[in-house]
Amino acid sequence: MHPAFSVVFFTTATGAGYGLLALLGVLGAAGFIEPDFWLGLAGVGLALGLISAGLLSSTGHLGRPERAWRAFSQWRSSWLSREGVSSVLTFVPAGLFGIGWIILGRLDGWVSAAGLLAAIGAVSTVCMTGMIYASLKPIAQWHSPYTFPGYLIFSAMSGGVLLDALLQGFALGSAILSVASALLTLLGWSWKLATWRYNDRLEIPTTANTATGLAGGTVRSLEWPHTEENYLLKEMGFRIARKHAAKLRRITQALAFGLPILLLITALVLPWPLSAMSSALAAIAQFAGLLVERWLFFAEAKHTVTLYYGR
């Protein structure tokens, strides 16, 4: 699949933003976080900023962005439409949560309820984003048991590292949160390795024979459908060299997983503000690494429509 940067950024930014929003809502309601004005402004602002930037970026992949509103009408049958509806609805409790925390200085009562509803909305939206790809049967690398849980794991992982960086920045760092973020990152690393192993060993059952229903002999084209690149080949038939994929996988492991874990552990033994700098670098490195991971997620996927073109 063609890895358009708009979609790459969208899935990375919204995953981190919804992960952070969910953690803020749950931990705020649990009393783990104090109702500090600047912390609330930075935390809720960063979460909603990432979500908004990601959603706006996603429209860049549309041929007619001004018609994006029509996607909301298909919520009965489309995971993409359900994701859009869920993302918009989540802004309501998230906005109330932000108002109660930032303006009223509260994280109890109806504010904590709004935070929990925002967390539920955030998790639901990430689930629907994952289902957009996991439900696509023509793309075997996505239609697997690893895609849907992967979206949830990466969202919790990146949200946790962002929250740790925020709390460290305000000298409110918690060893429990740092360790939990490191463990989530380790889980994400293990899950990504398992996903790559599964995809590399994947034997796609669909061939030109089975696609046409002609089981006997070998089906081949007498003449190719097109003499030059077209939309389907550009979007569905994108190919990446094996050596480049291997290199990008190493970069992903270093930036998204290895370096953040090292920096999070380092932050535990450093005094403030060095611990804050280490946590901030962990968040920045992980976001960059997840952009590379998302690019590979699209680039390594193969659509069965390419059988029509002899690929």
Q: Is the peptide bond before 149 cis (omega within 30 degrees of 0)?
A: no
Predicted local distance difference test score (pLDDT) of residue 310: 58
Predicted local distance difference test score (pLDDT) of residue 265: 93
Total structural domains in the chain? 1
Is residue 146 a contact partner of residue 195, using CB atoms and an 8 Å limit? yes
What is the separation of C-alpha 121 from the centre of its chain, rounded to a whole number of angstroms? Answer: 15
Q: Which two tokens stand for residue 26?
A: 């749950």
Is residue 124 a contact partner of residue 75, using CB atoms and an 8 Å limit? no
Predicted local distance difference test score (pLDDT) of residue 180: 94
Q: Which CATH number belongs to the domain containing residue 24 in this structure?
A: 1.20.1630.10
Q: What is the DSSP string of 109-120?
A: THHHHHHHHHHH
**CA–CA gap between residue 188 and residue 140 (Å, rounded):** 21
pLDDT, block means (10 residues), the chain with 311 residues: 78 93 92 89 94 83 62 74 88 94 90 94 93 84 89 94 93 89 95 91 68 66 62 59 81 94 92 91 95 88 66 56
Nearest Cα to Cα of residue 16 among 52, 60, 61, 68: 52
**CA–CA gap between residue 130 and residue 55 (Å, rounded):** 15
Is residue 252 a contact partner of residue 296, using CB atoms and an 8 Å limit? yes
Residue 150 structural domain: 5-309
